[in-house]
Amino acid sequence: MPSRVVLDTCVLVAGLRSRRGASFRLLELVAAGVVRPVLSAPLVLEYEAVLKRQAKVLGLTPGDIDGLLDDLCLLGEHHVVYYLWRPTLRDPSDELVLELAVAAGCPHIVTHNVRDFAGSERFGVEPYTPQRWLTETGAGS
């Protein structure tokens, strides 16, 4: 059974910028079906906006990004968030990530901005860096 995880947008960007590192390894595990991303419509729309804004830097076309998001949606576990917990976090743009994790009962958010998710623990959600998540879950082995 695949590990379920909510991926913060910064992890997708980092994984697409470099083929080295834990973020890319996490994306490989998603593609292999070892890790199942937990998704919501607002999160996918955020992924799309950020990735398309950075498309040139990433060396991708808008069509490439559409294909990537289509694949991610096919591999992901979809949830609707009915209840908002705002304000909880110091960065309002991260609230939708935490709310998805709570709604899906997903205990892990993988992010490079762990400090931005201070307070998520009270909902039973713990933020992990990609490297820490891979190491502690054994998924990177």
Q: Is 80 helix (H, G, I), strand (E, B) or coil?
A: coil
pTM over 0.75: yes
- For 51, phi then psi, to 5°, come to -65, -40
Question: Residue 97 pLDDT more than 80?
Answer: yes
Mean pLDDT of 56-67: 97
Residue extents of the structural domains in the chain = 3-137
Nearest CA-CA partner of 84 in 94, 102, 99: 99
> Cβ(9)–Cβ(48) under 8 Å?
no
What's the whole-number average pLDDT of the chain?
Answer: 94
Q: What is the pLDDT of residues 102-134, one digit of tens each?
A: 999 999 999 999 999 999 999 999 999 999 999
> In the CATH scheme, what is the code of domain 3-137?
3.40.50.1010
